[in-house]
Structure formats: structure tokens, C-alpha cells
Structure 1
Amino acid sequence: MIDFGAEIEQVLDGPPSRLAFRAVCAALLRAGCPERLVSRCEERLASWPDEVREASWSWLAALKAGHSKPTWRLVRALAPQSVRNGTVDPALPDPRSCAEVRGVTRLDLGRYASEQLEVLAATLDHWENLRSVRIGGLTGSDGELVARIAGHDALTRLESLSLVGVDEDMWHFEKPPFSPPEGRTWQLRHVGLRAPDLVRLLRSGQVPTLRSVDVLVCSAQEALDLAARPELARLDRLAIGFRCGKNGRQPLWKPYFGNVIDEDDDAAEAFFARADLTGLRSLVVRGTPMGLGREGLGERGVDAIVAGGVLRQLTELTLELLPVGDAVIARVLEGIDAERIEKLALTDLVATDRTATALAAPGVLPRLRHLDLSRNRLGAEGARQLAAGVRLPALEHLDLGGRESGSPYYARPDIQPVGDDAAEAWASSDNAAKLTHLRLAATGLSSDGLAALMTSERLPELGTLDVACNPVGSWPTALLDAPVWRTVRSLNLADCGLGDADVRSLASTASAPRLHSVSLAYNSVGSQGARALAAWALLPQLWELDLHDNVIGDDGLTDLATSGAAQRLLELDLEQDCWNPRARDDRKPLPAEIVDPASFPSLDAIFLGMVDEYHGSRYSCGFPTRVREEIVSAPGTRPELIAFLTHLETDGFEDDEEDTGPDEDRDPDDHDFRTERTARHAELFDEARDFARRMFEGDIGWPPPKEPAQGAAADGG
């Protein structure tokens, strides 16, 4: 007999996460949701952050289709926007008629979510427990809705309101003003606003508890106005993006230094020279991506931050997507207090090994827990310096990865060329003793580097290992009982060139007591690999299995479904891209066993069919129209499958008799990234090393000379 109480306690004793929360709820449902267990979960979950107690998209879609579950009483956060290709966002529930959402404290509406915002504007008074609202991508057309939100008395209950994030640009849309009426005192501790709106709010005296701000500054005058507010001295966290100008030039599909925006530098100088930031402990400054480069403030702007003196008092610093390079970063590192800093994220700044040398200069960073140097141009020597040339006794989170490609059919990764040397250095480093998170995605890692990491005894706490988008190419048999299996919880092997034989080797590992999530997306897993997974001793404990865009036939899918082993699986992705040369015929329905509730009894999200990842659209859902409608209307269909099948953009679907699937004149083999994956990785690795060499030598080579007006442009805007 299954001891559901013990299973639930084991999850609750682990680290809080959205996936772990869903696992708790699934175990409760399998146990029949006895009140004793539900109450125990409520008691234990009270110590978890509300943001991880999130109902997934599939729960909301199922709720819209009329399927509820008793575990809704445990939910505290909603994020209704789907991020899947060809799926439809479920409507935001109305708490007046939907009791399930009345305990929600946090709403993240996503980006460009005008319909969700309209529902919120009409129902805000009735979200009695709501304390946090976030929406991104607002445009001028949302002005009336934002005005309605601003006028609500219910806003005085909020602790966080984000209408703008520093991950947004101002290229395409103006942001609507936020002008709440004066005379009310707010409980806000965090806001995300444009600078003029933030200035008005600070001046009004309505936000005495404000301690955290995300703000976009769009001119030097806005910077001056904001810097003049004495209330900034109360902030302990500031995230700021300067969006005062734009350039847009880029060499298509080539790495480059980036575009320095003089107007952003001017505004940064004006702000950091005058703002009183004496209470600040966390600072984020972010530019914007531009092709395979970055755009925003440059040397003058970052030097203004250093000259302002704020760095010395920080415990957390994030600089991201800024065209600055090593010399500027070195001055930043000289400005921080090595004894104080706990989090340091220097991402996408065109850093090379010289940055690693500067970081190692203090000799020890005793409190640094989080180090992110991703999406730069560090090499093997830089990785070795960080592993052995500086003491990092508190380090828990390390990211040395490059930029992953997204869909490898349509994009390319941007490699950080640390390679196997980084893995080998960190596998033998004393600094790895407390690492719980290690990301080496898109770094040129091979099977040798992977083996060095997984067989190391120096990683006794490692829970997350991400090596996606690397030319691993094979799964070494030496990893059968590798030490990392003792602790790893999440393993990302997406786009690593693994096939059926490799999956059989992977599935020969019989013990990994904490493993819950595995991604094998964009590999070459076929039916034999699926059968190996079906027989894997660890499959019964997995919560998440990502097999997106592999090549599994119906026989393999059937074996995976009928094994009866995936008892705890919460999320399963079996989608394929339309350019996959071995994609199944989308006119033929998937095996019935895939959708049999007995196959995956805990499943709460499933993704099937064929998608076009270039256009973000969908060709099929795994079933012809007639079959899809029969499944949806059948009384025994599982709610999560109904949620998926009833929230699809079906414009690209065709009727059974006329459906020819993707264009039959295409030649998928010409577009399949698998055919030249290894050679392509090697080419990109060499390109990244060459780019790093040029940056190291000061050969920025950007911007290019202006072209004659009559000439054809070589740059893309």
C-alpha cells in the first residue's frame, strides 16, 4: 500500500519549486484528498513562497473547461499566459463565480495580455487576498485599462505592482501613464513603472513602505527628475533600464560587440551622480538584446555607477546586456566590497578571461553564493581561474553557460567557449563543495567534460545540472553509478546529440533518489530509446519528462504509455517541429494509449502534435479534427488533455480528408539540424574563441565604417 503521507512529506522536505508544488497536489489527488492530509499540506506550505504555489496553465485551462480539483485551495499564484506554440491563453477567472481562485495572492498576467488586464480591471475589488500584480508589454492602447486599475481602491491592498520591467524595450510601443488619485496611502513595497510615473508616486507621499523599484528611464531629464527624489534613499533594491536612444545596427547572425547609446550614457551619468541611494543593497542595470550583440549604456554609463560610490554597499549586483568589455568590468569589480557581495551577475557584457582574472584578484569572496557570468566570452583559462584561483567558500549557484538557441531549426546558439576544460576544472575544485546549481549549456562541452562532472566527488550538493545545447554526442557507460546521481534533481540534456543507444545507457542507472526532471528535447530518441525509458527504474519517480522534437514512432510511444511506470509524471512533452524529417504523419491519430488516464495517472499537462516554431503556430494536436472532438466529448477523458485540446489555435488545422500535413514539396532533410550538428557546434565554438581572442586583444571591430548611401546595407536593423 502506498504511503501518500510519507511521499508528500518527502516533497515538502525538499526545496520549494513550482514543480514540487504540483507534485504535492498530485500526491494529494492520488490519495483522495483526505482532509487530514490537505490540512497538513496547508500548514507546511505556509512557509513556502507564494510564487511557487502556482497553478499551471493547464490547471486554468481545465478549470475554464469545467474541471476543478480540491487542491485549488492550496494555490496562491496564477500565471495564465501560455508560452507554448499554437496554444490559447485561458481567460482569467472571475473570483465572484470561481471560488477556486479566491485564495490567490499573486497574479502574473504575462506580456501583451490586454484581455486578462480587462478582466482584472472589472474584478479587482473581488480579489480579496491579492497582494501582487505583474503585467508586461503594455502599449498605448492599454491606457484606459491602466487608468481604471489606477482608480481602484483595491490597489491600496497591494504590496507589489509591476506595469513595466527592465527586460522591456521602448522600440515599438509607448507605455500608458499610471496616475493614481492622490490622498490614499498604499502598502506597496515594490513597483515597476516608467520614470515619470515613479516620480509622481514618490512625490505624492503615498508609498512610505516602498523598498524595491523596477524603472525605465527614457531621457536625461527623466533621470534628473528621478535622481532628485529623496525617497530613493529608502530603497534597498533598484532595477533600472535606460532607454533614451536606439541604434539597431547588427551584422546578421554574427557575434559583435554591440551598440553604445550615448543618450543612455548621458542619463546614467545624470542619475548616478545625483541620486541618494544610501540604503541600496541590490542593483540591476540592464540593456537590450540586438541580434547576437547588445545595446545600451557603455563605458561612460558604467563608470558613472562606479564613481557614484553605490557599489561598495551592495550585496547583490546585476549588469546585463551592456556593450562594455573587460576594462570596464574590472573597474566595477574594484568598486564592490569583496567581503560583502553575495550575488554577482555579469551577463552578456562581452567579458573574456580578463574578467575572470579581475574577479579572482581579491583572493577570496567569502559570502558570494550566486555567480553568473553567462553569455560572455570566457574561455578555458578563465574557467580555471575561477575554479582554482580564488576562494569561493559559500558558492551555491554557478552559470558559465552561453546563450541557447531556442529551436535549433531556426536559430543558433551563442557559445561561451569554456569547453571541457571548465568542466574538468570545476570537477576538481574546492569551490564546488556547496554548488547546488551548475549551468554549462552552450559551452562546447563533450562527453568527456560531462563525465568529469558527474564522476566528481567534489560536487556533493549538486541538484541542477544543465548541459543543454552541447555536442555531448554519447552517454558514457562510466556514468552508470556516478556520484552526482546521489543528489541531482534536474538534468537538462536538450540538444546534446543523444540517440537510442545513449538513452539505453542513461536508463541503465538504477539509483538517483532525488531525480525528478529530465529533458531530452531536440535529440534523436526513437522507439528503442522510448522503450528504454519505459523500463527505466527511475521513471516512476519523475515529475517532468521533456521529449520535445524527437523521433519516437507509435510503437515506442505505446510502450512508454503502457509500461505503467510513470505514476508520478506531471508534465510530458511529445511535440515535434514541422521540419523534423521523421515527424509522424499528423493525419494519423496518436496511439490511444497515450491519452489513456491509466498510462500517466498523475499527469496535469501534456503537449502533443506538430508545431511550427518559426512562426509560433501549430499544424496539429496529434489527432485529426473528428478524433479530437470525440476525445473532448468522451466522459472519461482526462481534464488536462481536454485543457490542451480545447485551448489551441486551430486556424492551421485542416479536415481529415483534405489534410496533407506540412508542405509536401519541402525537403525536411535540408533543414534538419541533426544532419550536421557536430560540425556546426565545432564551427560555432571556433567562431566564439576567435571572437573572444579579438575582444581580448581590443579588436572590437564595431561599429563598421559608414557605407555609401547608394550601397547595399550589410547590417540589419
Structure 2
Amino acid sequence: MIDYDAEVERILGGPPSKVAFRALCAALGRAGSPKNLVSFCDERLASWPDVEREAPWSWLAALDAGYSKPAWRLVRSLTLKSVRDGMLDAALPDPRARSEVRGVTHLDLGWFAGDQLTALVETMDHWDSLRSLEACGLTDDDEELVAKLASTSAITRLETLNLVSVREDMWHFGKPPFRPVAGRPWRLRHAGLRAPDLVHLMRSGLVPGLRSADVLVCDTEEAQDLADCEELAQLDRLAIGFRCGRNGRQPLWEPYFGNVIEQDDNACEAFFARADLANLSSLTVRGTVMGLGREGLGARGVDAIVTSGVLRQLTELTLELLPVGDVTIAGVLGGIDHNHIEKLMLADLVATDMTAGAFVAAGAFPCLRYLDLSRNHLGIMGSRQLATDVRMPALEYLDLSGREGGSPYYARPEVQPVGDAGAEAWASSHNATKLIYLNMTATGLGVDGLVALMKSERLQKLNTLDLSHNPVGSWPPALENAPIWRTLRTLNITECGLDDDDIEALAATTSAPYLRGISLAYNSVGSRGARALASWAVLPQLWELNLHDNVIGDDGLIELATPQAAQLLLELDLEQDCWNASTRKYGTPLPAEVVDQASFPSLDAIFLGIVDEYHGARYSSGFPAHVREDIASASTTRPELVAFLTHLDRDELDKPDDPEWESERTDRDFRTERAAHHVTYLDEARNFAHRMIEGNIDWPPPTS
């Protein structure tokens, strides 16, 4: 019997997060949602950021299907996109008919959300509490819609408006203009816009309180015009993407230096030579992904940023997806104030161990709390140097990950070859004692690195550890009482080559007092492993358990469901990819125990069936068509399952079994040659890093 009052108090006393908010609402629901307890939570949640009080897609889908819950009054943020293969987006609720959403302050419509934005514009005057709106990926086809948005009086209430993200590449679509007419000043403090629209907004006098901006610049003239805005001097944060030219060449499935765009360099030079950024404390400059490389401004553009002197005043700097390399990065490190910088993200810049040497030359970063060197090419030596030869006493967040690459059936990771020795260096580093987050995804980590991290006595405060997409291969029984279990809240061991023996060893851990989430996606968890999880002493406290694309049979699913041990579990993912050699027959229904509300009583989202992760399609819901329809229409079906079954994309649903296709699955299952592939990825990464250190960029290829 769970004491839900105590559970509510425990969650409110912990760190705010979106999953913690869902857990709080589930506890309220299990307690019967008494008004006094809901009001108590409302008062205590006032100290949480509104963005963490989010109703996820599954809640919106359930609301769309006619199911509400008392906890909706606590919601302050909505995210409409499902981000699931073969799933439909939930409709934007109309606040005139749905009182549940009238307290929403943050609204993320997702990308390419013209329909959702249309619905919002029609009801904009009725979103009385709305203060933040994000709708990126808009195109020329949305011009009339954006003009209507600009003309609504309710937009003056917004404090944040993102119609553009620096993650956009501008390759395929233009952007609709956003040109509101002058009038009384807005409340806007942050805007994400194209450069001409941002210039118009600042010069119109509409946004005297603007302090933050995301902006895309598409030619040198735009860069100069933006730089000449006196209002730039009031910004404390700027994220900028130069999208002035295109190349697009890439070697298929091979890492390469990337494409330097001369027009981007020109625009960057023009902007930073003229812009008054006197109050700026946070700067982001981002290029774009191009295959296993990157495209955007190069060394000349980044050198112009250094020359401008702006780096010396920053507390936060992000450079991402730029083809620059070690020498240019060393110039950046020489341009910042090492005693002042708090957050440093140098991601996907073709950095190697030479960059680690530049950190060593700097000596110390006494205020640095956040260091992200992900998707680069640091090796063993560089990782060791960062761990042992640089003083970072305040460090709390460290990301050394490679690029995970997505579904292992259709993509591949790009490894940052830190390896076991690099992980071992950080496990014993004096810089690790305050770490709360460590990401070692796709770093060539094996079992020795795993053991070193799990047994580290230095990682005294770590609550998030990501080891996904690594050739770990086993989970040693010796980790049963590893020190890291004392503090860990989230463990990601997706695609680590673990099987039932390893899950049994993992489940031998009897105490992990703060653990709330574990991902075992893309491993080889079968029925025996599912039984071990079902009896795991830690399972009753978990909020998240990801079993996406494993190999569990009906007997294992029944074992996992029937003990009713997973009382607090919020989300269940049992989907499989269509090329999984052990995938279910399309016409075979899942065991009734899996969807019985008594099995997972706190669940607020469920994902079942067979998907095609290459095409983003869904071939099965986990039930034959007639069974699916009966379940979806039954009044006794749990709301989370109805939400799932009524928001399926029907175009590819209920694909029949194909005997010829069945015979190909074993060969196409990534598990067949997984270990050999990871050896290849690691060798390739080390060879590429060696070439970059020698200056053998060998790119671009000669033009004919």
C-alpha cells in the first residue's frame, strides 16, 4: 500500500522536472485527487519553472479522446507533437470549450505545425495566461497565417515568441515575414526570428524589454543591417545562425571535416565587426548538420568573433556544428575569460586531442559548471588530459558523447573515441566530485569503462549517467552494490548489447534509493530478463522503464505486468521495429495483462506494436484491427490506451504478415553483427582523428 500523501511530499521536495511533474499528478490521481491536496500541490508548484509543469502528448491525446483529470489545473506547459513513428499529433484544445488549458503559459506547437498554429490564431484571444509560444519550421506557405498572428492583440501579452530556431537550415523553404505594426509596447523579452523581422521589431519600438534573441541571417546585407541596430546593446543573450550559402556535398556514410561556406564567413565578419553587444553574457553560433559532417562558417568567421573581443565578457558560449578544427578552437579558448566562463559548449567542431591540449595550456576554469565537447574526436589522451591536467572544481555537467545516430537498424553512431581508458580517467578525476550529469554515449565504452564509472568513489553526486550506443556487452555481477547506485536517478544503457544474463545481474542490485528511470531500449531483453525486472527490488520506485525494441515473449510480458510491482511507472514502451528478428506476428494480440489498468496503475502513456523506423510508419498497434476497434470503443478501457489507439496513423496500419519478409529479418536485425560493427566504428573514429591531427582534411574533393 502506497502512502500517496508521502509520495506527493517526496516529489515536491525533489528536483523539478517534467517527469517529476507527471509522477506528482499520477500520485494525486491514485489518491483520488482530493481538492485540498490538489490545492496544496498548486501552491508548492509555484516555485517550479512553468516549463516543467508540462502535459505531454499522451495527456493531450487522452483529452482529445474525451478523458480529463483533476491534475490538469496544475498544468502550465503543452507540447503537441507526438515524436512517435506512425502517431498523429493531438489537436490543440480550444480554451473556450476546454477549461483544462486555461492556465497554460507555455505552448510548443512543434515543427511544421501550420494546422496547430491556425487553430491557435483563431482562439488566441482566449489563451489568457499564455506567455510563451514556439512554432518553428514555418515556410512560405504560412505567410498569410503568420500575418494573422502578427495582427492579433493577444500577441502583445507574450514574453517569449519563437518562430525561428537556429537549428533550422533554410535549405528547402523560405520563411514567412513577421511584421507587426507599431503600437503600444509588448512584454516580449525573447524573440526567435529571421534577421529582417528582428530588425523591424527592434526598430519599431514594440519591444523595449527585449533581452534575448535567436536569429537566422541569410546574407551579408542582413548581417550589416542587424549589426547597425542600436537595440542589440540591450541583449544579454544571442543565438545566431548564418545561412548565407549552401554546398551539400558529402561522402556517403563516412566522417569528414565538413563544408566551409565563404558567404557565412563574410556575413559573420560583417556582423561582429559592427555590432554593439556591450551587455551580452551568452552567445550561441550554430551551423548545420551535413551527413557525418557539418556545414557553415569556418575559421575565418570564428576568428572574427574572437577579434571582436565579445568573448571576454561572456559567462556562456556555445559553438556548434562548425567546420573549424583544433587551431581555431584554441583561439576561442584564448579569447574567453577562464576565470569568468560558466558554460562552454564546443560541440561538433572537429576537435581532437589537440583541443584538450589547449585546455591544459589554459590551466584552470574555476567557475566552469557546464562543459560540452560532444560529437568531436577526442581520444584517450585528450580525455585523460581534461580529467587530470585541467582544474575545473565547479564542474557539474560533462558531455563527451559521440553522435548516437538514431535507430541502429538504419543508422550508425559516429564515435568519439574516448574508450575505456578515457572513462577510467574521469572515474578517478578530481574534476568529477561535483558532477551531476555525465554523458558517454557512443564513446567506444566497453565493460572496463562501465565498471570504472559505476565503482567510482569520485562520482559522489552523479544523478544522470548515459552510456548508450556502446559495445559494453555485459553487466558484471560485481556492480550489484556499486557506489554510484547511492545517487543515480537516471541510467541510460540503450543499445549496449545486454541480454537476459545481464538483466539478471542488473536486477541483483537491491538498493538504488533515488533511481527513477532506466532505458534498456535496443538490447536483447527476453522473457527471462523480463521476469528478473518484474522481481527487481528497485522496480516499484521507477517512473520510467524503456523496453523499446527488445525480444520479450508473451510469458515475459505477463510476468512483467502481473506482479503489480511497477506501481509508479508512468510510461511503457514495448514497440518493436519491423526488422527485429523476434518481432511479434502482426495478427497476434498482446496479452491482456499488459493493458490491464491494474498492472501499471500510474501509467499515463503506452506505446505498443510494430513500427518501421526508416519510413516513420506504423505496421501494427499490437492488436488485430477488429480487436483494436473493440478495445478503443469499450468504456472500461484505460484512457492511456484509448489515447494511443485513437491517434494511430492509419495509412500503413495492419500490414499483413509476409512469409518472404519474415525470412529476411534475421539478416537485417542489427544484433546479428553488432559487436563487429562497433569495432569498425571505433577504428574508423580513431583513424579519422589521427588524420585531423596530421592536418589531412582531404576535403572537399577536387571539382571536375
TM-score by length of 1: 0.97
Indicate yes or no: 2:669 matched with 1:667.
no
Report how far residue 664 of structure 1 moved: 3.0
Indicate yes or no: 2:445 matched with 1:445.
yes
SS for the counterpart of 1:191 is strand
Q: Is the 8 A contact 1:137 1:164 kept in 2?
A: yes
Q: Give the whole-Å Cα distance in 1 for the aligned partners of 2:4 and 2:665.
A: 47
Equivalence for 1:81: 81
Report how far residue 38 of structure 1 moved: 1.1
Equivalence for 2:48: 48
Q: Is the 8 A contact 1:575 1:610 kept in 2?
A: yes
Equivalence for 2:331: 331
Equivalence for 2:525: 525
Equivalence for 2:404: 404
Equivalence for 1:629: 629
Equivalence for 2:216: 216
Report how far residue 227 of structure 1 moved: 0.2
Equivalence for 1:66: 66
Amino acid at match of 1:413: P
Amino acid at match of 1:315: T
Q: Is the 8 A contact 1:491 1:519 kept in 2?
A: yes
Amino acid at match of 1:540: P
Q: Give the whole-Å Cα distance in 1 for the aligned partners of 2:612 and 2:621.
A: 12
Q: Is the 8 A contact 2:192 2:215 kept in 1?
A: yes
Q: Deviations over 1:249-291 (max 9, x none)?
A: 0000000000000000000000000000010000000000000
Distance 1:626 1:264, change over 3 A: same
Indicate yes or no: 2:677 matched with 1:691.
no
Equivalence for 1:97: 97
Q: Is the 8 A contact 1:219 1:243 kept in 2?
A: yes
Q: Within 5 Å, which residues of 2 pair with 1:220-369?
A: 220-369=220-369
RMSD over aligned Cα atoms: 0.9
Q: Deviations over 1:433-462 (max 9, x none)?
A: 110000000000011101100111101100
Q: Is the 8 A contact 1:586 1:661 kept in 2?
A: no
Report how far residue 328 of structure 1 moved: 0.2
Q: Within 5 Å, which residues of 2 pair with 1:610-625?
A: 610-625=610-625
Distance 1:192 1:662, change over 3 A: farther
Equivalence for 1:148: 148
Q: Is the 8 A contact 1:342 1:369 kept in 2?
A: yes
Report how far residue 36 of structure 1 moved: 2.1
Indicate yes or no: 2:589 matched with 1:589.
yes
SS for the counterpart of 1:110 is coil
Indicate yes or no: 2:531 matched with 1:534.
no
Q: Is the 8 A contact 2:25 2:71 kept in 1?
A: yes
Equivalence for 1:599: 599
Q: Is the 8 A contact 1:585 1:661 kept in 2?
A: no
Q: Give the whole-Å Cα distance in 1 for the aligned partners of 2:369 and 2:13.
A: 22
Q: Within 5 Å, which residues of 2 pair with 1:648-659?
A: 648-654=648-654, 659=656
SS for the counterpart of 2:135 is strand
Equivalence for 1:25: 25
Amino acid at match of 1:466: D
Q: Is the 8 A contact 2:574 2:608 kept in 1?
A: yes
SS for the counterpart of 2:238 is strand
Report how far residue 10 of structure 1 moved: 1.2
Q: Deviations over 1:92-134 (max 9, x none)?
A: 0000000000000000000001110000010000000000000
Equivalence for 1:559: 559
Q: Is the 8 A contact 2:586 2:654 kept in 1?
A: no
Amino acid at match of 2:690: R
SS for the counterpart of 2:332 is helix
Q: Deviations over 1:489-543 (max 9, x none)?
A: 0000000000000000000101000001110000000000000000101110010
Amino acid at match of 1:385: Q
Report how far residue 663 of structure 1 moved: 5.9
Q: Give the whole-Å Cα distance in 2 for the aligned partners of 1:317 and 1:493.
A: 30
Q: Give the whole-Å Cα distance in 1 for the aligned partners of 2:384 and 2:661.
A: 51
Specify which of 665, 682, 685 is matched with residue 679 of structure 2.
Answer: 682
Q: Is the 8 A contact 2:76 2:106 kept in 1?
A: yes
Indicate yes or no: 2:467 matched with 1:478.
no
SS for the counterpart of 1:690 is helix
Gaps of 5+ in 1: 708-717
Q: Give the whole-Å Cα distance in 2 for the aligned partners of 1:248 and 1:405.
A: 19
Q: Within 5 Å, which residues of 2 pair with 1:191-206?
A: 191-206=191-206
Q: Is the 8 A contact 1:326 1:352 kept in 2?
A: yes
SS for the counterpart of 1:107 is strand
Equivalence for 2:421: 421
Q: Give the whole-Å Cα distance in 2 for the aligned partners of 1:539 and 1:36.
A: 30
SS for the counterpart of 1:136 is coil
Q: Deviations over 1:165-185 (max 9, x none)?
A: 000011000000001011221
Equivalence for 2:180: 180
SS for the counterpart of 2:415 is coil
Q: Is the 8 A contact 1:317 1:345 kept in 2?
A: yes
Report how far residue 660 of structure 1 moved: 2.2
Q: Is the 8 A contact 1:213 1:239 kept in 2?
A: yes
Amino acid at match of 1:217: V
Equivalence for 2:7: 7
Gaps of 5+ in 2: none
Equivalence for 1:123: 123
SS for the counterpart of 1:317 is strand
Equivalence for 1:162: 162
Distance 1:311 1:3, change over 3 A: same
Q: Deviations over 1:142-185 (max 9, x none)?
A: 11110110001101100000000000011000000001011221
Q: Give the whole-Å Cα distance in 1 for the aligned partners of 2:562 and 2:49.
A: 37
Equivalence for 1:549: 549
Amino acid at match of 1:124: M
Q: Which range moves more in the overlay, 364-373 or 645-654?
A: 645-654
Report how far residue 665 of structure 1 moved: 6.2
Q: Give the whole-Å Cα distance in 2 for the aligned partners of 1:77 and 1:95.
A: 14
Q: Give the whole-Å Cα distance in 2 for the aligned partners of 1:676 and 1:132.
A: 47
Q: Give the whole-Å Cα distance in 1 for the aligned partners of 2:662 and 2:574.
A: 25
Equivalence for 1:701: 698
Q: Is the 8 A contact 1:283 1:316 kept in 2?
A: yes
Q: Give the whole-Å Cα distance in 2 for the aligned partners of 1:21 and 1:175.
A: 35
Q: Give the whole-Å Cα distance in 2 for the aligned partners of 1:245 and 1:187.
A: 35
Q: Give the whole-Å Cα distance in 1 for the aligned partners of 2:165 and 2:43.
A: 33
TM-score by length of 2: 0.99
Amino acid at match of 1:703: P
Report how far residue 653 of structure 1 moved: 2.3
Report how far residue 704 of structure 1 moved: 1.1
Equivalence for 1:711: none
Equivalence for 1:712: none
Report how far residue 662 of structure 1 moved: 8.1
Report how far residue 670 of structure 1 moved: 1.8
Equivalence for 1:714: none
Q: Give the whole-Å Cα distance in 2 for the aligned partners of 1:327 and 1:400.
A: 20
Q: Give the whole-Å Cα distance in 2 for the aligned partners of 1:335 and 1:2.
A: 55
